[in-house]
Amino acid sequence: MDMPINRRGIEVEPRKDVAIPADSERGIPLLRMTKERYTFDDIVVDGKTRQRLSRIVAENRSAKRLRRHGLAPKQKILLCGEPGTGKTLSAKIIGSAMGCPFVHVVFDALVSPLLGETAANLRKVFDFVEKGRYVVLFDEFDMIGKDRADPQEHGEIKRVVNNFMQMLDGYGGDSILIAATNHHRLLDAAVWRRFDEVVKLGVPDARQRAELFEKYMGAMKSDAVDASEFAEGTPGYSAADVAAVCVDALRKCVMDRHASVSEGDVLWALEEQGHRKGIMVSK
């Protein structure tokens, strides 16, 4: 779930002289391009993580100054962490802060069953993003960055990993390339060295969860609702988990025609989220 709740990017068209690349066999677009509207106020992370994300934006805004001194901004970023910790949101915030279109690479289209087609699709994506200035997200990156020594992986995946590393090495555009993964331990060791910055987003602590409860329920929260109490009772909940609880509580409040979210609304929403998490654990 992207946060804040229910915010959506505005789809944008590429320049008239640049076409969205597509898979040759199926004709499926390899990426989606949007204009995002997020700020650093939209994410709840620890201070060090916020500084690292802000630094990426600051360096790329000052790219010309760095290059005058023979330096380059960090443009190849790896975001890792458990599901729901804000990796996609972080990438969208960077895109918004840079004022660049946000390009989300569609892996369902990128990965092809045909021999050599996945690498060809990757080449198309790199050619596209090198012609403009974008913030590009390769989500679920472990699909193409897997350890080449894994005996369960076939030769095609190994070739794709090699191709991707070569493309990263040869990349010389102005776009910021961001890879995000929930499974960073699956990545090939050589892939890690290709990134300028690695940012790990963690599960929020109790203080951060309280901030999230306050943030997402906002003005609809009753004074009787103690966000810190619910934060203490939700250890291990990700930012997306807390957001899901708040959405359910807000829905119940509206459907029951209450003026504000009550403690009962939140307790009901917590039970619903606990039910969902229990199903996930048992699958």
CB atoms within 10 A of CB 156: 17
Tally of domains within the chain: 2
Q: Is the pTM of this model over 0.85?
A: yes
- Rounded distance between C-alpha atoms, residue 257 and residue 61, angstroms: 47
- Rounded distance between C-alpha atoms, residue 179 and residue 12, angstroms: 22
Boundary-marking domain end, from 180, 201, 222: 201
Decide if 26 is inside a domain: yes
Say yes or no: 67 and 161 in one domain: yes
Q: Which residues pair with 245 in a beta bridge?
A: none
Nearest to 85 by CA among 177, 212, 229: 212
Decide if 244 is inside a domain: yes
Predicted local confidence at residue 190, as pLDDT = 84
Say yes or no: 93 and 174 in one domain: yes
Task: List the CATH number of the domain containing 21.
Answer: 3.40.50.300
Say yes or no: 83 and 109 in one domain: yes
Decide if 2 is inside a domain: no
Say yes or no: 195 and 226 in one domain: no
Decide if 5 is inside a domain: no
DSSP code of residue 75: -
Say yes or no: 27 and 66 in one domain: yes
Predicted local confidence at residue 148, as pLDDT = 47
Decide if 3 is inside a domain: no
Predicted local confidence at residue 6, as pLDDT = 58
Predicted local confidence at residue 18, as pLDDT = 75
Helix axes 155-170, 117-129, angle to 10 degrees: 20
Q: Are 19 and 33 in contact (CB under 8 A)?
A: no
Boundary-marking domain end, from 201, 220, 253: 201
Q: Return averaged pLDDT per consecutive 10 residues of the chain, 283 residues in all.
A: 62 76 89 93 95 97 95 95 94 95 88 80 93 93 60 62 88 94 83 92 96 90 89 94 94 93 94 86 61
Q: Are 268 and 255 in contact (CB under 8 A)?
A: no
Boundary-marking domain end, from 171, 201, 231: 201
Say yes or no: 93 and 36 in one domain: yes
- With 0-12 / 13-18 / 19 or more C-beta atoms within 10 angstroms meaning exposed / middle / buried, residue 34 is middle
Say yes or no: 22 and 91 in one domain: yes
Predicted local confidence at residue 1, as pLDDT = 46
- Rounded distance between C-alpha atoms, residue 33 and residue 197, angstroms: 24
Task: List the CATH number of the domain containing 272.
Answer: 1.10.8.60
- CA 121 to mean position of chain CA atoms: 21
Say yes or no: 182 and 71 in one domain: yes
Say yes or no: 46 and 144 in one domain: yes
Say yes or no: 276 and 158 in one domain: no
Decide if 246 is inside a domain: yes
- Domain of 109, in residue numbers: 10-201
Decide if 4 is inside a domain: no
Instruction: List the alpha helices (DSSP H) in 130-232.
Output: 155-170, 189-192, 206-217, 227-232
Say yes or no: 173 and 224 in one domain: no
Say yes or no: 197 and 211 in one domain: no
DSSP code of residue 196: S
